[in-house]
Chains A and B, each alone.
Chain A
Amino acid sequence: MSEHTMKTPDDPTLRLPQAVAKRAVPLMATGAVLLVAGILLGTATPGGMKFAMGAYLTAFIYVLTIALGALFFVLIQHLCRAGWSVTVRRVAELFMSTLPMLGLLFIPVLGTLFFGQGTLYKWDDPQWIQDHHPEWATNSKGFYLQDWFFTLRALIYFGIWSFLARYYFQTSRRQDETAELRLTEKMQALSGPGVILFALSLSFAAFDWLMSMEPAWFSTMFGVYIFAGGILSALSGMLVTIFLLQRGGTIRDEVTVEHFHDFGKLIFGFITFWTYIAFSQYLLIWYANIPEETFWFKYRQENGWTAISLLLPICHWLLPFIGTMSRHVRRRPALMCFWACWILVVHFIDIYWIVMPTVTHEMEIGLLGGISGVLVSLLCTLGMIGLFIGGVLRSGESAPWIPVRDPRLHESLAFHNL
């Protein structure tokens, strides 16, 4: 609890080092190039466009869930009027500020509907519906799964997210300058409806973009499952970012071991939450043993996917659960940084495990699509991460990395775990 003098928003110590800030645009450009290269390479591989777009969707959903988790973090801090998190909230705000850009990056996925048939989504192929589910031609499922309706819903989701992200980021930035108390009250007032909109839109987006890849399969828990992985990864991403910023000197004693401890508790809790949701989804389907539900898991228990299916409970739950259980670990930022990186890796495996078995199920190209398949996935993922980090740096170029005039800043600076 050191005595703290208030910094101004122009304080150079709260800014990114010039060497990092100027990398924003090159990083985004490199990311875009890698993405295009990944898709072009993908079309030339045995998996073809289908595999390339699968890899693209995996990378996209991976980054999107992190940005959405950050949006949820910001909303929930305002909803709870949290004090401890003020000094770390700006990082989440910068993460979520990439959501409008991610909306643009969704266009290629929409493109598969209009320039292909069933590339990613089987229901997009009239022949497939005719052969497998002719009743969809007349019923509500067929109505729901239409190109124009799917596109309209995507617009609504990104509209909600972009609006919330921009509103919270810009209002918070304005408070940096004006220090108005009213702005905090406005942000709190919107956070309740915001969380409801967020929950519905994320849930339906998960149904639309991931669950409908296997259109006959359904699990009402699926949206929560995606959310659980997203918020966990967002917290992990924030922890790693703050750890690095502290190393680089942008954030100094504003963030203490107490904040890391709280991140640790949240990460530990959401590891358990993810497992709870993932297992609940599995248990119900396993117990009922109805073919129309079990086949989704069956695809993930053959052709080598068994190993990944077993890897998830061990690496996404057991090891980090034990690893982050102790208070002594949570109070060591470097150790928590290790576990946060771990989570970021297994979250990618989780998303890959959700998307790719559906893509490769009818192809005979093996688990990862051979060397070329791995390369395609790698290029798409690195490209997407490059765009994301570049976007975050670009938003953070001109902003202080702490909301310096937040009315609860003192509370956060003095924060102390009991």
Chain B
Amino acid sequence: MSAANEKRIHGYTAEFSTVPSLLAACRRVRDAGYTQTDAYTPFPVHGIDEALGIRPTVLPWIALAGGLTGTITAFTMEIWMNGINYPYIISGKPFVSLPAFVPVGFELTILLASFGAFFGMLALNKLPRFSNPLFAHPRFDAATDDKFFLFIGADDARYNEEGVRRLLADLGSEAIDPVVEDDSSDQVPRWLINIGLTVALLSVIPLLFVARMRVTTSSSPRFHVFHDMDYTPSKQTQRLTTIFADGRTMRPDVPGTVSRAQGAYDPDFYTGIDMAALALLDPDRAERLVRFGMQPPQEEAPPAEPAPAAAAEPPSEPPAAEPPAAETPATETAATETPAAEAAAQPAVPPAPVDNTPWLKKNPLTLDEATLRRGQAQFNIYCAVCHGQDGGGNGLVNVRAQQNVVDNKWVPPSNISEPTFAAAVYPDGKLFATISQGKGKMAGYAAQMKPEDRWAVVAYVRAIQLSRNAAEGDVPAAELEKLQAAP
């Protein structure tokens, strides 16, 4: 004991062989007023907290605080991100849409509550800790085997070496041992600090590189980590190739290709243009349309636009001067779309050229109720979202856009009942072509609707125009009477 006497005492342990003797000893020590006590047992012992006088832990409050922090953080973050900082419509839901935010709120609540419980437990137990003076106790290993230890710390307010020894002896303990303070240096070794500092300094270097690159420019090409994702073997559009004599990667249709159609191919029906008449006016274009089953180009866009702003190409570029590559529908549409969009943004464009395309004046379908019903169904599916079910231009898309588009860049859909769309100035064939290819911001619907359905929609649009512009005299007398009689 002489060696131990020279060192400071950390506390005393008393050793027991049974749970009841340990519990009895704990109660005695608790009643004697000691608070810096602990018990070490090979398995959990019921009632030991109470026997030692350990007060209920505050851990649940830490977990609760963590959980609430998670809830509040999640909802604040989501409301800020999607509702305020970057308002973005997702799935047609409102920007601040609580049901959608709940899953993230739930997860973050669980996560931070678990963190609170786990790290709170570590902190309350003063862990992690690399050493404990008890580890130096020669018999302490038995606490993981078959012995029970009661410990009284020297930092207890009531601690008094002689008193503690006497109390423990009185408890029927089998062995009472002093635990000496671990007096090895608690200084971190110098070499460890040096290594840590060096690593910390080195780790800043990549950050400095990043910071420098953010404020400078470079003329060298990008560094490609995944080469095959940047350079694919397949050719991209509008590129050159050595495989074909003409050097184009985009191949035109083989001459004589016939469009996919049921039965005989009727170019009038698929383009809305009277081909016989067009052949007299512009034989080249007529031939091209017939041979490739093409859509009529959009640059022949109408003068009969609601506003000059929405007119198509400027007159400086005559319709005849088509780009030579314009033999495929894709390029033709692409070539015309951009100027049209630009024109929409510049109100001061001179009037568009006269549209001399011989559009079909008459709908080729048999106009009966079935056709109109079909047209109504298709109109309500594809057109009504923008133009509205009454064609007035106030569909759901427009309603939402008016609420949410903040920069006044929204061009509202046309009111199809306006006089500019009347059959006299906007023939059926032209309406068909507009539905097929789109106009301005409106996309073409040739891919979605069969030609028959597009013609049916044309018929239904005429019906809407008739109904919206009807006068009282248009109503049959009998019907009028019925209406007037109704309350």
Contacts and interface: CB of A to CB of B under 8 A. Distances in A.
A277 to B, nearest CB: 13
B99 A1 contact: no
Given A287-B91, A289-B91, A327-B60, A282 B99 contact: yes
Interface in A261-301: 279, 282-283, 286-287, 289
Contacts of A326: 60
A1 B46 contact: yes
Contacts of A283: 99-100, 102-103
Nearest to A416: B46
A418 interface: yes
Contacts of B323: none
Contacts of A287: 91, 93, 99-100
Contact of A286 (B47, B56, B64, B99): B99
Interface in A234-286: 279, 282-283, 286
A1 B46 CA distance: 9
Contacts of A1: 46-47
Nearest to B44: A418
B92 interface: yes
B28 to A, nearest CB: 19
A83 to B, nearest CB: 13
A283 B46 CA distance: 44
Nearest to B56: A327
Contacts of A418: 44, 46
A289 B99 CA distance: 13
A416 B102 contact: no
A265 to B, nearest CB: 13
A30 B60 CA distance: 48
Given A289-B91, A418-B44, A279 B102 contact: yes
A325 B64 CA distance: 10
A120 B47 CA distance: 56
Interface string A386-418: 000000000000000000000000000000101
Given A287-B91, A289-B91, A327-B60, A416 B100 contact: no
A177 to B, nearest CB: 32
Interface in A306-332: 325-327
A326 B99 CA distance: 27
A283 B56 CA distance: 39
Chain B interface residue number, banded: 10 to 19
Nearest to B90: A287
A418 B56 CA distance: 12
Interface string B92-107: 1100000110110000
B76 to A, nearest CB: 20
B47 A416 contact: yes
A286 B98 CA distance: 11
B39 to A, nearest CB: 14
Contacts of B60: 326-327
Interface string B35-67: 000000000101100000000100010001000
Interface string A73-115: 0000000000000000000000000000000000000000000
Nearest to A279: B102
A349 to B, nearest CB: 21
A325 B56 CA distance: 16
B104 to A, nearest CB: 12
Nearest to A280: B103
A1 B50 CA distance: 13
Interface string B411-447: 0000000000000000000000000000000000000
A109 to B, nearest CB: 34
A1 B51 CA distance: 13
A289 B93 CA distance: 10
Contacts of B102: 279, 283
Contacts of A325: 64
Contacts of B99: 282-283, 286-287
Contacts of B100: 283, 287
Nearest to B91: A287
Interface string B78-99: 0000000000000111000001
A287 B97 CA distance: 10
Contacts of A282: 99
Nearest to B100: A287
A317 to B, nearest CB: 12
Contacts of A289: 91-92
A416 B44 CA distance: 11
A223 to B, nearest CB: 22
A289 B90 CA distance: 12
Interface in B191-247: none
A49 B93 CA distance: 41
A96 B103 CA distance: 36
Contacts of B44: 418
A316 to B, nearest CB: 16
A20 B103 CA distance: 48
Nearest to B92: A289
Contacts of B56: 327
A286 B46 CA distance: 49
A118 to B, nearest CB: 30
Nearest to A326: B60
A327 B47 CA distance: 16
Interface in A147-200: none
Nearest to B48: A418
A287 B93 CA distance: 8
A325 B100 CA distance: 25
Contacts of B46: 1, 416, 418
A222 B462 CA distance: 49
Nearest to A325: B64
A286 B60 CA distance: 35
B16 to A, nearest CB: 18
A291 B319 CA distance: 48
Contacts of A279: 102
A1 B19 CA distance: 14
A279 B92 CA distance: 20
Contacts of B64: 325
A283 B91 CA distance: 13
A416 B47 CA distance: 8
A286 B99 CA distance: 8
A282 B102 CA distance: 12
A273 to B, nearest CB: 13
Interface string B320-332: 0000000000000
A251 B296 CA distance: 91
Contacts of B103: 283
A327 B93 CA distance: 40
A416 B99 CA distance: 40
B113 to A, nearest CB: 11
A374 B458 CA distance: 56
B80 to A, nearest CB: 21
A287 to B, nearest CB: 6
Interface in A327-344: 327
Contacts of A286: 99
Nearest to B67: A325
B302 to A, nearest CB: 38
A418 to B, nearest CB: 6
Nearest to A417: B46
A325 B61 CA distance: 11
Interface in B100-120: 100, 102-103
B23 to A, nearest CB: 10
B470 to A, nearest CB: 33
A4 to B, nearest CB: 15
A413 to B, nearest CB: 13
10 contacts: A279-B102, A283-B103, A287-B91, A287-B93, A287-B99, A287-B100, A289-B91, A327-B60, A418-B44, A418-B46
User: Nearest 7 CB-CB pairs, A to B?
Assistant: A416-B46, A286-B99, A283-B99, A418-B44, A287-B91, A279-B102, A327-B60
Interface of A: 1, 279, 282-283, 286-287, 289, 325-327, 416, 418
Given A283-B100, A286-B99, A287-B99, 5 more contacts: A1-B46, A282-B99, A287-B91, A289-B92, A327-B56
